[in-house]
Structure 1
Amino acid sequence: MPCPLPRLVMGAFLLSLAAGAAMPASAQGQVTVYCSILEEQCREGAAMFEKSTGIKVAMVRKSTGEVYAQVKAEANNPRGDVWWGGPGEPHLQAAAEGLLDEYKSPRLPELHDWAQRHAQQSGFRTNAIYLGALGLGYNSEILKKRGVAAPTCWADLLDPKFRDEVQIADPSSSGTAYVFLATTVQRLGEEKGFDFLKSLHKNISQYTKSGIAPVKATALGETAVGIAFIHDMLTQKLQGAPIETVAPCEGTGYETGSVSIIKGGRNPDAARKFVDFTLSPAAQDINVKLKINSIPSNKASQLSPDAPKFSEIKLIDYDTPRWGAPVERSRLLRKFDTDVKTLPR
């Protein structure tokens, strides 16, 4: 889905996170990738790609909303070539705004139907690499100490017992949190959905920048409950954290993790090769190696035995194209900023 993530060094490239830009990659055999999945995945994928192709990778890890803002700000002078990971809505918005290049990867026929539909819906300006269901994670040790019953539904988070005990990212900077915002509005309708968000606001301890931050805060016991993708919470549990995951009883939305080529990037050939790589079983099997439990888009990719079973989760018919439309996404974010974030807690 915080503590800012450290710089990554890929090959001979020193990354500059403070400046928000990677080193220029203008020479042949180089590619600059803005990465919105876990830092470990970014690092592992870049190393694999370099080894298999000889193309050097400059990798910057940022949250989905931050990458979208950077790609838009750099539209007249793109510094990145590929945007790898994060929920599909910001990718779809960027595609609709002409910030991404069309590319039909030869690996498209290898993908599940839902992934092929995602590419078609974007005019082939983004591709699906994984699915992840939104949910809750709670620190069982904290709740036991405080004598608080574990939440099983979204509505449980409104209980005053969770005052300052719930953490989620800011939807303006985090794709994870935007999926939660859109899921709430779709699930309840806009008026009731924002009433829910206003009530929940009283129990939020912090809106973090990155969607993964509430996951780590829950694992460390810095918050009792985190709202994030279930597979990210499971990763922490498998690493020994006292986390239990919940697919809320009312139903939940999901992310279609995406990868896109940035329009006007300096290394389009290398960018296409990198996208092909991300759609391959080899790249998607990184998840199993790192115990990351999202659902891969390539039919031949391995599925972790610990991955959430979508057949056991009550999913809403989440409308990714609608919530990724520029007008709708921008409107919802503005309304959240003015109607929810400004309220006292």
Structure 2
Amino acid sequence: MKTSKVHWLVTLVSLVVALGAGGAQAEKKLVVYTSNESTLNDLVFGAFRKETGIEVEPVAAGSGVVIRRLQAEKARPLGDIIWGVSRSLLQTNKALFEPYASKNRDATPAEYRDPDDLWIGNNLHLLVILQNTRLVPADQGPKGWADLLDPKWKGKIAFTDPANSGSAYATVTMLVDLWGGGDAGWKKVGDLFRNLKVLNRSSLVFQGVGNGEYPLGISLEYAGPMWAAGGAQVKVVYPADGTTASMEGVAIVKGGPNNESAKAFVDYINRKDVREMILKATFRRPTRSDVDLSTLPGDMPSMSAVKIIKYDEDGWTDKRAKTLEKIKDVLQESR
């Protein structure tokens, strides 16, 4: 009887230890819904795992796609973090996020974080034109957005479906305003759509230009020097008629299974040394105000050397759903 009791106690203790280890192991995991391309994902997730011991399970897709997945999983979230989506998408879906004041919050200007700490910005992307200089000599490409309306570029400009990409949505709405707003602006956007090859994901645009499938692409700044560093003949065209900077950020999914790991990731991804690593390796401008930007990699110009135009991001965010329907209609009419 005594031996039986001892055996029972040993079994019970072993079970408790096993359950405890299982719980600890669960917190050493993180599911990240990311719209970033694999170069950045691999860099960051590998460094984060090495430092923290937390295994990252990435779910990669376009920003519109990962947002729709979060919406579908609202009652029972499967992800912990959403990363690499635009301010507009973060703001319009903040009911899905849990507030968290990052340890690096104060180094990020207020304009790049939610006042209730539901999301925080990480980097800024200039909206640009990419040019494959093997297909189109450097001095024969477009100088600005208006040049893309030339019929000679029909079928030669890669672009992302705005329903799947926050930056593509920002590009279209910026151009509506730049080209006069209202019916006049939408008419010119329709003319542009007639020249575009619309793809499902942003990475397909810069991959297509880098690989020589498309002479031109409407994309994000970092993609140009990233592909050029790999040997591709890609040039970044900073539109002479002006552009804007699109913020991307990170948020913790409300009710996600690995909350403590999620907080650790938010703190990590906004840390100064991590932002410096990302800038150097992947050419993404940080939102942090204390990173030295006097010398930029990949021959990127200073922000002051680029013509930045006013963009009503809040206004276009407020009418996002209606505008996406308008974009869908204009795209269909242009086919």
Query: Is TM more than 0.5 here?
Result: yes
Map 1:165-184 to 2 at 5 A.
165-184=156-175
* Aligned match for 1:259, one of 250, 266, 273: 250
Q: Distance in 1 between matches of 2:188 and 2:48?
A: 44
**Offset from partner CA, 1:12-47 (integer Å, 9 cap, x none):** xxxxxxxxxxxxx99222211111112111122112
SS of 1:255's partner is strand
Q: Is the 8 A contact 1:281 1:302 kept in 2?
A: no
* Corresponding residue number in structure 2 for 1:7: none
* Corresponding residue number in structure 2 for 1:81: 80
Q: Is the 8 A contact 2:27 2:258 kept in 1?
A: yes
The one-letter code of the counterpart of 2:38 is E
Q: Distance in 2 between matches of 1:136 and 1:44?
A: 26
* Corresponding residue number in structure 1 for 2:134: 141
Q: Is the 8 A contact 1:132 1:229 kept in 2?
A: yes
Unaligned runs of 5+ in 2: 1-23
| Superposition deviation, residue 286 in structure 1 | 3.3
| Superposition deviation, residue 199 in structure 1 | 0.3
Call closer, same or farther: CA 1:195–1:344 in 2, change over 3 Å. Answer: closer
* Corresponding residue number in structure 2 for 1:102: 99
Call closer, same or farther: CA 1:216–1:308 in 2, change over 3 Å. Answer: farther
Q: How many residues align?
A: 308
Q: What percentage of residue pairs aligned between the two structures are identical?
A: 27
* Aligned match for 1:150, one of 141, 145, 165: 141
Q: Distance in 2 between matches of 1:283 and 1:37?
A: 16
Q: Distance in 2 between matches of 1:220 and 1:52?
A: 35
**Offset from partner CA, 1:191-241 (integer Å, 9 cap, x none):** 22211111012211x211111211111111111110011221221122221
* Aligned match for 1:319, one of 312, 323, 327: 312
The one-letter code of the counterpart of 1:104 is A
* Corresponding residue number in structure 2 for 1:128: 121
Q: Distance in 2 between matches of 1:284 and 1:105?
A: 14
- TM-score, scaled to structure 2: 0.86
Call closer, same or farther: CA 1:302–1:29 in 2, change over 3 Å. Answer: farther
* Corresponding residue number in structure 1 for 2:67: 68
Q: Is the 8 A contact 1:82 1:260 kept in 2?
A: yes
* Corresponding residue number in structure 2 for 1:228: 219
| Superposition deviation, residue 299 in structure 1 | 3.7
Call closer, same or farther: CA 1:26–1:343 in 2, change over 3 Å. Answer: farther
* Corresponding residue number in structure 1 for 2:328: 337
SS of 2:297's partner is coil
Pair member with larger Rg: 2
Structure 2 residue 200 is the aligned partner of structure 1 residue 203: no
SS of 1:133's partner is strand
**Offset from partner CA, 1:155-189 (integer Å, 9 cap, x none):** 10011111111110000011221111121123231
- TM-score, scaled to structure 1: 0.84
| Superposition deviation, residue 254 in structure 1 | 1.9
* Corresponding residue number in structure 1 for 2:184: 192
* Corresponding residue number in structure 1 for 2:39: 40
Q: Which runs of 4+ in 1 moved over 6 A?
A: none
| Superposition deviation, residue 245 in structure 1 | 1.2
